[in-house]
């Protein structure tokens, strides 16, 4: 009887079946996907980028030099009290405004004086720098004192 019991408890195996054992699965390493090689920027693009950087740098240096070495003390709005009333003038980088009209001008800046030259009629006015907020001009024998408007 023991023998019949052994036959019943044995598992049937066929020549094609595999034994049912637990095997540890080892995952295969995944193939790394190769990215396409990145192209380096061409010489032309590098040259263009360098020129743009140099252009901005050049304008920055030019602006800094204009503001420090060739600073125009007249730039801004000025007001004077005269017998005719209050006169207000404004100096811009390349223009002069007074009595509602605007004229293109150029400036010749020295230590104590600034010559303002009207580009269209080639006539100039001389302004004396008294201090940072005060200038004076003389026209027709009358001296006019201007104060900076903040």
DSSP string of 53-89, one letter each residue: HHHHHHHHHHHHHHHHTS--TT-EEEEEEETTEEEEE
Which positions of the chain have pLDDT values less than 70? 1-24, 26-37, 66-70
- Can you list the pairs that 82-88 forms with residues at least 24 positions away whose Cβ atoms lie under 8 Å? 82/142, 82/144, 87/144, 87/146, 88/149
Scan for tokens 């900076």, then name that residue.
Answer: 148
Which residues make Cβ contacts (< 8 Å) with residue 119, sequence separation at least 6? 103, 104, 105, 106
pLDDT at position 122: 82
Where does a domain end: 18, 53, 72? 72
Q: Are residues 131 and 88 in the same domain?
A: yes
The CATH number of whichever domain residue 95 belongs to comes to 2.40.128.280
Where does a domain end: 53, 72, 91? 72
Q: Are residues 65 and 86 in the same domain?
A: no
8 Å CB contact between 129 and 120: no
Q: Are residues 80 and 112 in the same domain?
A: yes
pLDDT at position 14: 56
Scan for tokens 């693009």, then name that residue.
Answer: 45
> pTM higher than 0.85 for the full model?
no
Please count the CA atoms within 13 angstroms of the CA of 1 that sit on its side-chain side: 0
Where does a domain end: 72, 92, 110? 72
8 Å CB contact between 96 and 106: no
Count: domains in the chain: 2
DSSP 84: T
pLDDT at position 147: 93
Residue 62 inside a domain? The answer is yes
Scan for tokens 């920027």, then name that residue.
Answer: 41
8 Å CB contact between 139 and 125: yes
8 Å CB contact between 146 and 89: yes
């Amino acid at each position: 009887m023991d023998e019949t019991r052994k036959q019943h408890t044995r598992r049937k195996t066929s020549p094609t079946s595999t034994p049912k054992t637990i095997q540890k699965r080892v995952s295969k390493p995944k193939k790394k996907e190769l990215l396409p090689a990145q192209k380096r920027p061409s010489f032309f693009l590098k040259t263009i980028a360098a020129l743009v950087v140099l252009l901005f740098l050049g304008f920055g240096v030019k602006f800094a030099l204009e503001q420090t070495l060739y600073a125009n003390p007249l730039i801004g709005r000025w007001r004077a009290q005269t017998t005719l009333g209050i006169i207000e003038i404004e100096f811009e980088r390349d223009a002069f405004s007074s009595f509602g009209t605007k004229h293109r001008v150029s400036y010749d800046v020295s230590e104590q004086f600034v010559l303002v030259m009207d580009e269209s009629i080639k006539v100039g006015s001389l302004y004396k720098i008294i201090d940072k907020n005060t200038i004076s001009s003389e026209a027709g024998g009358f001296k006019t004192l201007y104060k900076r408007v903040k």
